[in-house]
Amino acid sequence: MRYEELEGLRTCPFCGAGAHIRRNASKRFQVHCKKCDCQTAWTSKPAAIVAWYNNAEFYERTHGKAKPEETKRNVRNELTEAGKML
């Protein structure tokens, strides 16, 4: 199974985590949440992306929007990057 990151892909409507696209051996695609198991059916790439957006919009309309996933800070990297800017 291959994973593909798509910039700007909508976050998961259930948990707010990021999502990626998976491709199986049959060359079918599925949008899949990285944290929970929310996913679309296996279909063509455009249809999977459209289904992800439609399902997320419907869920958010009926249940409200999920809180975005919190990202953990890496202080060591932040200090290294800050040092480069000095």
Give CA–CA dist 79/85, Å, rounded. 10
Q: Tokens 């696209």 belong to which residue?
A: 21
Per-residue pLDDT of the chain (86 residues; tens, 9 = 90+): 899 888 889 888 888 889 999 999 999 999 999 998 899 999 999 999 999 999 888 888 888 776 666 556 667 777 777 777 76
Give rounded-to-5 percent helix, strand, coil for the chain. 35, 15, 50
Give CA–CA dist 62/50, Å, rounded. 18
